[in-house]
Amino acid sequence: NAGVTQTPKFQVLKTGQSMTLQCAQDMNHNSMYWYRQDPGMGLRLIYYSASEGTTDKGEVPNGYNVSRLNKREFSLRLESAAPSQTSVYFCASNEDRVNTEAFFGQGTRLTVV
């Protein structure tokens, strides 16, 4: 049982480049989330998808777009990367009831130079 899988694990981008972070879960969860974690900080919610076909902004959505491709997959896109987006990105999923355990991926470490 893989749980939540993120790709890639590491990425270095130049300022202005674009890329898409991929996330897939195999637990049949309805809700999926993207967070970023800066050094020594907690996690901040970028975007979430409460169910297939819906997406909403979280705390820090500027500079990002998301796509809920199907129930399993939720991607995060940086259209024009900036050094301020250097961070570790985590994808998570849980059932559609709000007070249920969330499962996190291993993270994508992104550096923008």
Min CB(79)–other proteins separation in Å? 23
Min CB(92)–other proteins separation in Å? 5
Choosing from 22, 58, 63, 72, the residue that interacts with other proteins (CB under 8 A) is: 58
Number of neighbours of residue 74 by Cβ within 10 angstroms: 28
Choosing from 48, 68, 85, 87, the residue that interacts with other proteins (CB under 8 A) is: 48
CA 69 to the chain's CA centroid:
13
Are the C-beta atoms of residues 14 and 59 closer than 8 Å to each other?
no
Q: Segment 1-40, which members bind other proteins (CB under 8 A)?
A: 4, 31, 33, 35, 40
Q: Which residues are within 8 A (CB) of 94 and not within 5 positions of it... i.e. 6 or more apart?
A: 29, 31, 100, 101, 102, 103
Question: Tokens for 91?
Answer: 């994808």
Choosing from 14, 39, 42, 53, the residue that interacts with other proteins (CB under 8 A) is: 42
Are the C-beta atoms of residues 15 and 81 closer than 8 Å to each other?
yes
Residues that bind other proteins (CB under 8 A): 4, 31, 33, 35, 40-45, 48, 50, 58-59, 90, 92-94, 98-107
